[in-house]
Amino acid sequence: EHSVPPQEYSIPPPVSQGKWKNKQRVLIFSSRGINFRTRHLMQDLRTLMPHSKADTKMDRKDQLFVINEVCEMKNCNKCIFFEAKKKQDLYMWLSSTPQGPSAKFLVQNVHTLAELKMTGNCLRGSRPLLSFDPIFDQEPHYALLKEMFIQIFSTPHYHPKSQPFVDHVFTFSVTDERIWFRNYQIIEEDASLVEIGPRFVLNLIKIFQGSFGGPTLYENPHYQSPNMHRRLIRLSVAAKFREKQQVKEVQKIKKKGTKVLVEEDPTEVVFETPAEEKPVEIQLVKPESKPIVKDKKKLRKIQRKKQKKLFRTEG
């Protein structure tokens, strides 16, 4: 009997041969009181960014600078923190811990991956291209934000959890004084773009020198707080109601007001022609009483007879 040689198993080498040097780690977590949409958005960002880490929700009573300690414990040097207020307003902090800088945004028009149902798709853990609006190179505060976005959202080269493929694009475009985030798949055949999601709009509030505080480097003059926005809407509705009430009151006063008597105009009688005076006729003879007939047919017969008599007398 010939002995069968044992099968040799060779372990394939790892796909990325290079060394992981840029050790950026991003902590993505939130405060308590966020709604389901924010939770899903946070989860979508975690799946899109293989270099991210998660943590439990932070208590509302804790101060924001505590996040620096949390990042240090988790061995992270970047942070995306979602802060919910009044169960309806969502704020996002982007920070470089522990020195800074940090930026605070109001997040609007959030649409998550599951919600959009886009046709695009990308490989989990693949590296994205980052596309920026030209305005990011023109103004200093946008240039600072661009650098922060690059450091936070771009997956480090040769990261152990990442794939060495580039098949999707993160776009940051500026319209209406807001930053619009979109995620597109790059189709290999013709390099066209198909949206994957999620999508959201960032309205910049302030840029701070430190991490979660410190001196203000930039304050957005176009920013209007959601509280103020809601207040203005209420005031406009109240003003409309008040205007309607005033119109009604004016109409009531007009109806109640006595009619002003116009003085007699002496020229009005000029074109009136006096009518001829008719003599008053006094009837001395009693008028003939007409026969009361209830039946209409009988009445007609009587009338015919009278007519015949008249004809005869005339003849």
Burial zone of 311 (CB within 10 Å; 0-12 exposed, 13-18 middle, 19+ buried): exposed
> What does the pLDDT read at residue 13?
56
Spans in the chain with pLDDT lower than 50: none
> What does the pLDDT read at residue 18?
74
Residue 242 CB contacts under 8 Å (≥ 6 apart), including other chains: none
Domain ranges of the chain: 26-224
Query: What number of other Cβ atoms are within 10 A of residue 213's Cβ?
Result: 15
> What does the pLDDT read at residue 62?
80
Instruction: Provide the H-helix boundaries in the chain.
Output: 36-48, 66-73, 113-116, 140-153, 226-256, 296-314
| pLDDT tens digit sequence for 194-228 | 999 899 999 999 999 999 889 999 999 999 998 99
> What does the pLDDT read at residue 273?
81
Quote the pTM value.
0.71
Angle value at C-alpha 222, between 221 and 227, nearest 5 degrees: 105
> What does the pLDDT read at residue 259?
65
> What does the pLDDT read at residue 139?
93
Domain 26-224 annotated CATH 3.40.50.10480? yes
Check: CB of residue 36 under 8 Å from CB of residue 184.
no
Burial zone of 44 (CB within 10 Å; 0-12 exposed, 13-18 middle, 19+ buried): buried
> What does the pLDDT read at residue 12?
60
> What does the pLDDT read at residue 274?
77
Residue 167 CB contacts under 8 Å (≥ 6 apart), including other chains: 122, 123, 126, 185, 186
Check: CB of residue 40 under 8 Å from CB of residue 30.
no
> What does the pLDDT read at residue 267?
85
Under DSSP, the state recorded for 58 is B
